[in-house]
Amino acid sequence: MAVPKRRLSKMKGRKRRTHYTAISPTLSKCPKCNELILPHHACPHCGTYRGRVIMTVRTKKTRDEDSGKGGAA
């Protein structure tokens, strides 16, 4: 089994790890609502993709009505 002959210095290891940084995802604007979204994904705010409505977006108010927890009974 291969074993290093000498211990690597801290600088050598850190130079090797300079490319391990985390990068932020590239974001683009939704043409309908101008919110930032990931490219090639449906907009989670308005539910459109390439100008077409793909999904219906449920707001907090509609979620409460659907679950029967509408508050006043």
Instruction: Give the 3-state secondary structure of 14-54.
Output: HHHHHHCCCCCCCCEECCCCCCEECCCCCCCCCCEECCEEC
Interval 32-36 mean pLDDT: 93
**Cβ–Cβ under 8 Å, residues 22 and 29:** no
Nearest to 33 by CA among 17, 57, 13: 57
Residue 41 Cα distances to 7, 29, 58, angstroms: 47, 11, 18
Q: What is the pLDDT of residue 59?
A: 78
Which tokens hold the place of 72? 């006043």
Domain ranges of the chain: 26-59
Mean pLDDT estimate for the chain:
86
* pLDDT, tens digit, 9 for 90 and up, residues 37-71: 999 999 999 999 998 999 888 877 766 666 766 55
The whole model's pTM is what? Answer: 0.55
Indicate if the pLDDT at residue 36 is higher than 70.
Answer: yes
